[in-house]
Structure 1
């Protein structure tokens, strides 16, 4: 029987506000009580606002699918991420968000995904080669760092047609790693009763890191605008988005707004993918039988595949889906009520925070069979279908579903296949990773795995 994957430590059911804030600052997930893995709803009150975590599938559907306009993104989340994301599509609401999605969505349609496939495969092969080079008698690798490198490489190759070795790409990557470790999804100022027009305070290091990232992205975006004007721009995602006119207004993104969007593409397309890849590799290392099955698919995969060949990686895809279920990269989505509501016979006032926890839903005891078990084959069983509709939200749902969901699934499966074709992974005794959540769900002290080259390796990968 596969050992249970680690989950966050849970706090006692009742703690005071000050202790909760200290726990929250350290890790959003371990600040929550264990009962949330079986409760349909929980209420948390501060002196300044009320918050409701909703695990009831009917409430999740109400907020995300039935009436999403009545539950906009919370200003508390927007203010927490404003130094980096500005007014990106991740944090905007209403007409601004609708206009941004009309421009962004066409770049991630199925046909466009085929266009990015060769760059994804090239980056995946480069990541596998880096891991293979580190294999050996010792061969212990901090896998989260490698996953971050690989995911960043895919983003830069598909977005700006440059590899991670490019000077600016490398600088963005290293600065973003620094930012991720210091910035939670909600900063503590989100709990304060500040006027809506007054920006929330941020730590100086957070502001400085965000400013450096945005300056680097601005340089890339301005250079691409010049290439577009000169007719020399490559046909990649950045060019597609920057030249796409809003079908309603005819307007295009300017430099500043494009910088906002690139920042969230990097956050959503690099940080979340790196999180999922790291946990997927750890889960496979702990389950040799599952790893052998995925490696067999990888060995049979064409050395120069086409987009249609992704269908050959059915088990590998289920491994990645199971990693997303157990370790949803974005653990919580926060919405806000705009009018009086009734949740499970409880009156909810306007201005309340509504938390949809994709992490708790993915392990909810009343939704999933054996929820803490790593079981890729559950995705082939009929009884999983209703559970997945009720409790699988790694990319959100409804109108605000992540536009890059298909992109993320393709790159995750490709990276797993490329890596498993070259190396075998084993857990390091005593090095059990502890999941914590800041911007995404990562391991508190990283994920260390032993990397062993497969014999013989695939020379053309």
Structure 2
């Protein structure tokens, strides 16, 4: 074993509110105390509200699965993301959210994945060729992962490669945006209605406006193709033409822009984060990389959807990566009535924080929680923890619509890349994880790439 995968240093137990806010905006992970890796529940108080981080699996299930409508998404997260995402399904609650899911979910049903697979394979092959052209070099792999993940989204959503002029501009604008936007905007710590100033960083709103303008071009172009009867049968067409069975309505053009924005954020940003960390972990643990490569060479030959089911090692590596480096490290819900958690009163309006980062590394749940061990997923203990304490895509009714999509995309990409290439660790350049919109590496992930 090469050693433990890196994780951020924790802060001291007690810091001032101002220091905490500053740390939170810089990196949500290192802003938390080490005791959260053992705590079932922790309370945080500010002058304006109380937060309760919950790690106890049955309480996590209560919030996400048993009573999700009693714990809607908190607008303290939405405040920072709304300029880009508008009223997308990621931010809405109640009847609006239910209507959006009724329209979106059918496009991502199991049978639909097979239909999108050729586009996914084409993007993966293009990524393999792009990386193969840099064999013998040290490569910043997060940038390559971002390029691939964006290509998958554009090919499956709009049937265009990332080389398309508008697609390329969206990708580059978003790449810059995600590096400057914290998970929580300063307004998250201050009470008040939506009309209050949100204290965005310089150019955040302008960048969001540019991205949404480009997405508008794509959706308007597709609407014209639908009207003319020339639109390809891809995800965008399916979603734009789907009629809500309860209201008889389709998405308006403005609503579709909101949804495409979250598809790009959820489908590109999170996939890029997971893929980058997976390749680093396989460089750090070459014995697992060799096992994955052998499996891919034996089972990945024709590029058919049925071959993905054979990628057991690749799938377990991807699961373990999502455990150690969940792309979305924290989720925030809000209480709509007083609650009682672990003999503690939780008032109405309190913030309930669910942290995949801490839950996935919890010392009282997982065996060797900081170790990289894809083999754990074939053990009874690992399977139990996977059911009770593994939520990279959330859980319950609000589970990520694209979870199934991601669990095909990630293992496929790892298998196709490492069937033909190998990656190696670069001495002195081990990445340090930190959270912006997702869990990324502070100075990128640098790997040596060679042909296999």
**TM-score under structure 1 normalisation?**
0.97
Provide the residue aligned with 1:378 in structure 2: 376
Q: CA RMSD in A?
A: 0.9
Deviation at 1:197, TM superposition (A): 4.8
**Corresponding position of 2:249:** 251
| Secondary structure at 2:31 match in 1 | coil
Name the counterpart of 1:15: 15
2:80 aligns with 80
Aligned equivalent of 1:34: 34
TM superposition shift of 1:302: 3.6
Counterparts of 1:302 and 1:213, CA distance in 2 = 36
Given that residues 89 and 100 in structure 2 are in contact (C-alpha distance below 8 angstroms), is that contact kept between their aligned partners in structure 1?
A: yes
Conservation of the 8 A alpha-carbon contact between 1:42 and 1:54: yes
Please state if 1:104 is matched with 2:111.
no
3-state SS of 2:203 partner:
helix
Residue in structure 1 matched with residue 59 of structure 2 by the alignment:
59
Residues 1:224 and 2:222 aligned together:
yes
1:301, CA displacement in angstroms? 3.0
Mapped to 2, the partners of 1:297 and 1:303 lie a distance apart of: 11
1:155-304 pair list within 5 angstroms:
155-198=153-196, 200-304=198-302
The answer on whether the counterparts of 2:186 and 2:199 sit within 8 Å (CA) in structure 1 is: no
Cα distance in structure 2, aligned partners of 1:278 and 1:329: 11
Aligned partner (choices 358, 383, 391) of residue 393 of structure 1? 391
Report if aligned partners of 1:221, 1:258 keep a CA contact under 8 Å in 2: yes
Query: Which residue pairs with 1:339 in the alignment?
Result: 337
* Contact 1:181/1:438 (8 A) holds in 2: yes
Contact 1:424–1:452 at 8 Å: present in 2 too? yes
Any idea what SS the aligned residue of 1:42 has? strand
Counterpart in 2 of 1:90?
90
- Long gaps (5+) in structure 1: 455-461
Q: CA deviation at 1:199?
A: 5.5
Question: Are 2:443 and 1:445 aligned?
Answer: yes
Q: Whole-Å Cα distance in 2 between the matches of residues 12 and 190 of structure 1?
A: 22
Asked if 1 retains the 8 angstrom alpha-carbon contact of 2:25 and 2:183, the reply is: no
Q: 1:97, 1:15 → 2: CA distance?
A: 37
* Equivalent pairs, count: 452
What is the Cα deviation at residue 190 of structure 1?
Answer: 1.1
Q: Which residue of 2 aligns with 1:434?
A: 432
Q: Is the 8 Å Cα contact of residues 2 and 373 (structure 1) preserved in structure 2?
A: no
Return the alpha-carbon distance in structure 1 between the equivalents of residues 380 and 202 of structure 2.
Answer: 51
Q: Return structure 1 stretches of 4+ with deviation > 4 angstroms.
A: none
Give 1:459's aligned residue.
none
- 1:56-111 residue CA offsets vs partner (Å, 9 max, x unmatched): 11110111011111100001111111000000000000000000000000000011
Q: Secondary structure at the match of 2:391?
A: coil
Q: Secondary structure at the match of 1:31?
A: coil
Alignment of 1:354-365 (within 5 A): 354-365=352-363
Contact 1:159 1:236 in 2 (8 A): yes
In the TM superposition, residue 245 of structure 1 has moved relative to its aligned partner by 0.3
Are 2:128 and 1:128 aligned?
A: yes
Q: Distance in 1 between matches of 2:107 and 2:236?
A: 9
Secondary structure, counterpart of 1:383 in structure 2: helix
Alignment of 1:70 with 2:70, yes or no, is yes
Aligned counterpart, 1:350: 348
Distance, in Å, in 1 between the alignment partners of 2:180 and 2:102 is 33
In 2, distance between residues paired with 1:381 and 1:373?
15
SS of the aligned residue for 1:334 comes to strand
Cα contact 1:277–1:416 (8 A) shared by 2: yes
CA distance in 2, matches of 1:375, 1:432: 19
Between the aligned partners of 1:431 and 1:402, the Cα distance in structure 2 is 33
Distance in 2 (CA, whole Å) between partners of 1:186 and 1:175 is 20
Question: How many Å apart are 1:304 and its aligned residue?
Answer: 2.5
Shift of 1:438: 1.2
